[in-house]
Structure 1
Amino acid sequence: MARVWFLLALVVIVLTVYTLVECALIDRNRIRALPRWAWLIVIIVVPVIGPAMWVLLGRGGRRDSGARPARSSAPDDDPEFLRRLEREKTQQERIRKLERELADLDEPGPTDGTGTAGTTGAPPKKTEPGDGDVPDRRDA
Protein backbone atom coordinates (compact mmCIF):
# COMPACT_ATOMS: atom_id res chain seq x y z
CA MET A 1 0.00 0.00 0.00
CA ALA A 2 2.93 2.32 0.67
CA ARG A 3 4.11 1.91 -2.90
CA VAL A 4 0.73 3.04 -4.26
CA TRP A 5 0.76 6.18 -2.09
CA PHE A 6 4.36 6.88 -3.12
CA LEU A 7 3.51 6.53 -6.83
CA LEU A 8 0.41 8.73 -6.46
CA ALA A 9 2.43 11.38 -4.65
CA LEU A 10 5.08 11.23 -7.38
CA VAL A 11 2.42 11.61 -10.11
CA VAL A 12 0.89 14.60 -8.30
CA ILE A 13 4.29 16.28 -7.90
CA VAL A 14 5.24 15.71 -11.55
CA LEU A 15 1.85 16.96 -12.76
CA THR A 16 2.05 20.03 -10.51
CA VAL A 17 5.58 20.94 -11.67
CA TYR A 18 4.63 20.39 -15.32
CA THR A 19 1.53 22.59 -15.10
CA LEU A 20 3.39 25.31 -13.16
CA VAL A 21 6.12 25.50 -15.79
CA GLU A 22 3.63 25.41 -18.65
CA CYS A 23 1.45 28.10 -17.08
CA ALA A 24 4.45 30.32 -16.41
CA LEU A 25 5.86 30.01 -19.95
CA ILE A 26 2.76 29.83 -22.15
CA ASP A 27 1.82 32.80 -24.34
CA ARG A 28 -0.50 35.20 -22.53
CA ASN A 29 -3.07 35.05 -25.36
CA ARG A 30 -3.55 31.30 -24.85
CA ILE A 31 -4.51 31.52 -21.15
CA ARG A 32 -8.27 31.23 -20.57
CA ALA A 33 -10.69 31.80 -17.68
CA LEU A 34 -8.27 33.36 -15.13
CA PRO A 35 -5.17 35.57 -15.25
CA ARG A 36 -1.78 33.86 -15.12
CA TRP A 37 -1.10 34.77 -11.48
CA ALA A 38 -4.45 33.27 -10.41
CA TRP A 39 -3.74 30.02 -12.28
CA LEU A 40 -0.35 29.74 -10.58
CA ILE A 41 -1.96 30.12 -7.16
CA VAL A 42 -4.70 27.58 -7.98
CA ILE A 43 -2.12 25.04 -9.22
CA ILE A 44 -0.04 25.41 -6.04
CA VAL A 45 -2.84 25.62 -3.44
CA VAL A 46 -5.15 22.89 -4.79
CA PRO A 47 -2.75 20.00 -5.46
CA VAL A 48 -4.70 17.57 -7.65
CA ILE A 49 -7.66 19.63 -8.84
CA GLY A 50 -5.62 22.76 -9.69
CA PRO A 51 -3.36 21.10 -12.28
CA ALA A 52 -6.32 19.17 -13.70
CA MET A 53 -8.32 22.41 -14.06
CA TRP A 54 -5.35 24.07 -15.81
CA VAL A 55 -5.08 21.21 -18.31
CA LEU A 56 -8.83 21.15 -18.99
CA LEU A 57 -9.83 24.82 -18.71
CA GLY A 58 -6.83 27.11 -18.47
CA ARG A 59 -4.80 26.64 -21.58
CA GLY A 60 -6.28 27.55 -24.91
CA GLY A 61 -5.78 25.99 -28.30
CA ARG A 62 -2.93 26.64 -30.66
CA ARG A 63 -4.42 29.91 -31.84
CA ASP A 64 -6.69 32.43 -30.23
CA SER A 65 -10.11 32.20 -31.93
CA GLY A 66 -10.13 35.95 -32.67
CA ALA A 67 -6.67 36.05 -34.21
CA ARG A 68 -6.27 35.93 -37.95
CA PRO A 69 -3.77 33.42 -39.29
CA ALA A 70 -0.52 34.95 -40.49
CA ARG A 71 -0.55 35.35 -44.26
CA SER A 72 2.62 34.66 -46.12
CA SER A 73 3.29 36.87 -49.11
CA ALA A 74 6.12 37.67 -51.44
CA PRO A 75 8.20 40.74 -50.54
CA ASP A 76 7.05 42.64 -53.64
CA ASP A 77 3.41 42.17 -52.52
CA ASP A 78 4.04 43.65 -49.08
CA PRO A 79 3.33 47.42 -49.08
CA GLU A 80 5.45 48.03 -45.97
CA PHE A 81 8.43 46.32 -47.59
CA LEU A 82 8.01 48.44 -50.72
CA ARG A 83 7.77 51.65 -48.66
CA ARG A 84 10.93 50.69 -46.79
CA LEU A 85 12.75 50.10 -50.10
CA GLU A 86 11.65 53.50 -51.37
CA ARG A 87 12.85 55.20 -48.16
CA GLU A 88 16.20 53.43 -48.43
CA LYS A 89 16.53 54.49 -52.08
CA THR A 90 15.83 58.16 -51.33
CA GLN A 91 18.19 57.99 -48.33
CA GLN A 92 20.99 56.57 -50.51
CA GLU A 93 20.44 59.31 -53.13
CA ARG A 94 20.57 61.95 -50.41
CA ILE A 95 23.81 60.51 -49.03
CA ARG A 96 25.40 60.45 -52.50
CA LYS A 97 24.39 64.08 -53.06
CA LEU A 98 25.90 65.15 -49.71
CA GLU A 99 29.10 63.22 -50.45
CA ARG A 100 29.41 65.00 -53.82
CA GLU A 101 28.93 68.37 -52.11
CA LEU A 102 31.60 67.52 -49.55
CA ALA A 103 33.98 66.38 -52.30
CA ASP A 104 33.40 69.67 -54.15
CA LEU A 105 34.23 71.61 -50.97
CA ASP A 106 37.45 69.62 -50.48
CA GLU A 107 38.76 70.29 -54.02
CA PRO A 108 41.31 73.13 -54.20
CA GLY A 109 40.28 76.28 -56.00
CA PRO A 110 41.76 77.48 -59.31
CA THR A 111 45.42 78.49 -59.20
CA ASP A 112 46.96 81.59 -60.69
CA GLY A 113 50.08 79.84 -61.92
CA THR A 114 52.28 80.78 -58.95
CA GLY A 115 51.30 77.72 -56.96
CA THR A 116 49.10 79.61 -54.55
CA ALA A 117 45.35 79.24 -54.46
CA GLY A 118 43.19 82.15 -55.54
CA THR A 119 44.12 85.32 -57.42
CA THR A 120 45.13 87.55 -54.51
CA GLY A 121 48.77 86.52 -54.55
CA ALA A 122 48.85 86.43 -50.75
CA PRO A 123 51.55 84.24 -49.20
CA PRO A 124 50.41 80.87 -47.87
CA LYS A 125 49.27 80.75 -44.29
CA LYS A 126 51.84 79.63 -41.73
CA THR A 127 50.84 76.49 -39.87
CA GLU A 128 53.62 76.16 -37.30
CA PRO A 129 52.61 76.90 -33.70
CA GLY A 130 53.71 80.36 -32.65
CA ASP A 131 54.13 81.58 -36.22
CA GLY A 132 50.76 83.33 -36.36
CA ASP A 133 50.13 86.96 -37.29
CA VAL A 134 49.90 88.07 -33.66
CA PRO A 135 53.22 88.13 -31.75
CA ASP A 136 53.53 85.78 -28.75
CA ARG A 137 50.41 83.88 -29.76
CA ARG A 138 50.59 80.16 -30.30
CA ASP A 139 48.01 78.94 -32.79
CA ALA A 140 47.07 75.27 -32.64
Structure 2
Amino acid sequence: MIRFEGGFFLLVLALDVFCVIDLIQTRDDEVRNLPKIAWLILILLFPPIGSIAWLAAGRPQPGARRPSAYERSATSFPEYDRPGRAAGVTPESDEEFLRKIRERADEQRRKAAEDKKRREAEENGGA
Protein backbone atom coordinates (compact mmCIF):
# COMPACT_ATOMS: atom_id res chain seq x y z
CA MET A 1 0.00 0.00 0.00
CA ILE A 2 2.88 2.38 0.75
CA ARG A 3 4.39 1.86 -2.70
CA PHE A 4 1.07 2.73 -4.36
CA GLU A 5 0.79 5.98 -2.37
CA GLY A 6 4.37 6.93 -3.22
CA GLY A 7 3.74 6.20 -6.89
CA PHE A 8 0.56 8.26 -6.81
CA PHE A 9 2.45 11.15 -5.20
CA LEU A 10 5.13 11.01 -7.91
CA LEU A 11 2.48 10.87 -10.62
CA VAL A 12 0.71 13.96 -9.21
CA LEU A 13 4.06 15.77 -8.84
CA ALA A 14 5.05 14.96 -12.43
CA LEU A 15 1.65 16.11 -13.68
CA ASP A 16 1.97 19.39 -11.74
CA VAL A 17 5.48 20.05 -13.04
CA PHE A 18 4.34 19.34 -16.59
CA CYS A 19 1.35 21.66 -16.25
CA VAL A 20 3.37 24.50 -14.72
CA ILE A 21 6.01 24.28 -17.49
CA ASP A 22 3.29 24.08 -20.14
CA LEU A 23 1.54 27.10 -18.62
CA ILE A 24 4.75 29.15 -18.54
CA GLN A 25 5.53 28.34 -22.17
CA THR A 26 2.04 29.24 -23.38
CA ARG A 27 1.54 32.75 -24.76
CA ASP A 28 -0.80 34.98 -22.76
CA ASP A 29 -3.27 35.40 -25.61
CA GLU A 30 -3.60 31.62 -26.07
CA VAL A 31 -4.60 30.78 -22.47
CA ARG A 32 -8.31 30.03 -22.17
CA ASN A 33 -10.88 30.95 -19.50
CA LEU A 34 -8.56 32.49 -16.85
CA PRO A 35 -5.42 34.64 -16.80
CA LYS A 36 -2.09 32.83 -16.55
CA ILE A 37 -1.49 33.87 -12.95
CA ALA A 38 -4.87 32.44 -11.90
CA TRP A 39 -4.06 29.14 -13.60
CA LEU A 40 -0.67 29.04 -11.86
CA ILE A 41 -2.26 29.58 -8.45
CA LEU A 42 -4.93 26.96 -9.19
CA ILE A 43 -2.33 24.38 -10.27
CA LEU A 44 -0.08 25.01 -7.27
CA LEU A 45 -2.77 25.19 -4.57
CA PHE A 46 -4.92 22.28 -5.77
CA PRO A 47 -2.40 19.87 -7.32
CA PRO A 48 -4.37 17.14 -9.03
CA ILE A 49 -7.56 19.15 -9.57
CA GLY A 50 -5.80 22.30 -10.80
CA SER A 51 -3.62 20.33 -13.22
CA ILE A 52 -6.54 18.43 -14.66
CA ALA A 53 -8.53 21.67 -14.97
CA TRP A 54 -5.60 23.29 -16.83
CA LEU A 55 -5.41 20.39 -19.27
CA ALA A 56 -9.17 20.41 -19.84
CA ALA A 57 -10.12 24.08 -19.77
CA GLY A 58 -7.06 26.32 -19.85
CA ARG A 59 -4.61 24.85 -22.26
CA PRO A 60 -4.78 26.09 -25.87
CA GLN A 61 -6.66 23.76 -28.15
CA PRO A 62 -4.46 22.18 -30.82
CA GLY A 63 -5.02 23.73 -34.22
CA ALA A 64 -6.87 26.72 -32.73
CA ARG A 65 -3.77 28.94 -32.59
CA ARG A 66 -4.55 32.60 -33.16
CA PRO A 67 -2.08 34.51 -35.30
CA SER A 68 -0.01 37.14 -33.56
CA ALA A 69 -0.73 40.84 -34.06
CA TYR A 70 2.08 41.03 -36.62
CA GLU A 71 0.74 38.05 -38.54
CA ARG A 72 -2.78 39.52 -38.51
CA SER A 73 -1.59 42.89 -39.81
CA ALA A 74 0.64 41.31 -42.44
CA THR A 75 -2.01 38.96 -43.80
CA SER A 76 -5.24 40.80 -43.17
CA PHE A 77 -5.14 42.40 -46.63
CA PRO A 78 -3.33 41.01 -49.62
CA GLU A 79 -1.28 43.77 -51.25
CA TYR A 80 -3.74 44.21 -54.09
CA ASP A 81 -6.68 44.62 -51.65
CA ARG A 82 -4.96 46.95 -49.19
CA PRO A 83 -7.17 49.98 -48.41
CA GLY A 84 -5.95 53.18 -50.01
CA ARG A 85 -4.06 51.44 -52.77
CA ALA A 86 -4.74 53.09 -56.12
CA ALA A 87 -4.74 50.58 -58.93
CA GLY A 88 -4.50 51.68 -62.52
CA VAL A 89 -7.58 50.70 -64.44
CA THR A 90 -6.42 51.75 -67.89
CA PRO A 91 -2.96 51.93 -69.50
CA GLU A 92 -3.24 55.74 -69.49
CA SER A 93 -3.77 55.87 -65.73
CA ASP A 94 -0.76 53.57 -65.23
CA GLU A 95 1.33 55.89 -67.40
CA GLU A 96 0.14 58.89 -65.39
CA PHE A 97 1.02 57.09 -62.15
CA LEU A 98 4.52 56.26 -63.40
CA ARG A 99 4.99 59.86 -64.61
CA LYS A 100 4.07 61.18 -61.15
CA ILE A 101 6.51 58.79 -59.52
CA ARG A 102 9.31 59.93 -61.85
CA GLU A 103 8.49 63.59 -61.14
CA ARG A 104 8.52 62.99 -57.40
CA ALA A 105 11.84 61.10 -57.59
CA ASP A 106 13.39 63.89 -59.70
CA GLU A 107 12.17 66.49 -57.20
CA GLN A 108 13.66 64.51 -54.29
CA ARG A 109 16.98 64.18 -56.14
CA ARG A 110 17.00 67.94 -56.90
CA LYS A 111 16.32 68.81 -53.23
CA ALA A 112 19.03 66.38 -52.06
CA ALA A 113 21.55 67.94 -54.47
CA GLU A 114 20.63 71.45 -53.27
CA ASP A 115 20.99 70.39 -49.62
CA LYS A 116 24.35 68.83 -50.35
CA LYS A 117 25.59 72.00 -52.10
CA ARG A 118 24.31 74.13 -49.22
CA ARG A 119 26.05 71.95 -46.60
CA GLU A 120 29.30 72.02 -48.60
CA ALA A 121 29.08 75.79 -48.91
CA GLU A 122 28.49 76.13 -45.15
CA GLU A 123 31.42 73.83 -44.40
CA ASN A 124 33.74 75.70 -46.80
CA GLY A 125 32.52 79.12 -45.75
CA GLY A 126 32.67 78.35 -42.02
CA ALA A 127 36.21 76.85 -42.12
Q: What's the TM-score bracket when you normalise by the shorter of the two chains?
A: 0.5 to 0.7
**Over aligned residue pairs, what C-alpha RMSD do you find?**
3.7
Q: Note the C-alpha offset of 1:98.
A: 2.7
- Which residue of 47, 56, 80 maps to 1:77? 80
1:77 alignment partner, SS class: helix
- Bigger relative contact order, structure 1 or 2 (CA pairs below 8 A, ≥6 apart): 2
Distance apart, 1:55 and its partner CA: 0.2
1:18 and 1:95, CA in 2 relative to 1: closer, same or farther beyond 3 A?
Answer: farther
Between Structure 1 and Structure 2, the one with more helix by share is 2
Matches of 1:77 and 1:16, distance apart in 2: 49
Runs in 1 of length 4+ with deviation above 6 angstroms? 89-92
1:16-55 equivalences under 5 Å are 16-55=16-55
Structure 2 distance, partners of 1:6, 1:37, is 29
In the superposition, the TM-score normalised over structure 2's length comes to 0.55
Spell out, residue by residue over 1:58-98, the C-alpha distance to the aligned partner (whole angstroms, 9 max, x if none).
1232235xxxx965876x53638x79xxxxx9996565223
After TM superposition, give the deviation of residue 26 of structure 1 in Å.
1.1
Greater gyration radius: 1
The aligned runs of 1:69-108 (5 Å cut-off) are 71=75, 76-77=79-80, 79=82, 95-102=108-115, 104-105=117-118, 106=120
Q: 1:102 to 1:32 in 2, by over 3 A?
A: closer
Percentage of pairs with the same residue: 27
Tell me the equivalent position of 1:63: 65
Compute the TM-score of the two structures, normalised by the length of structure 1: 0.50
Unaligned 5+ segments in structure 2 are 87-101, 122-126
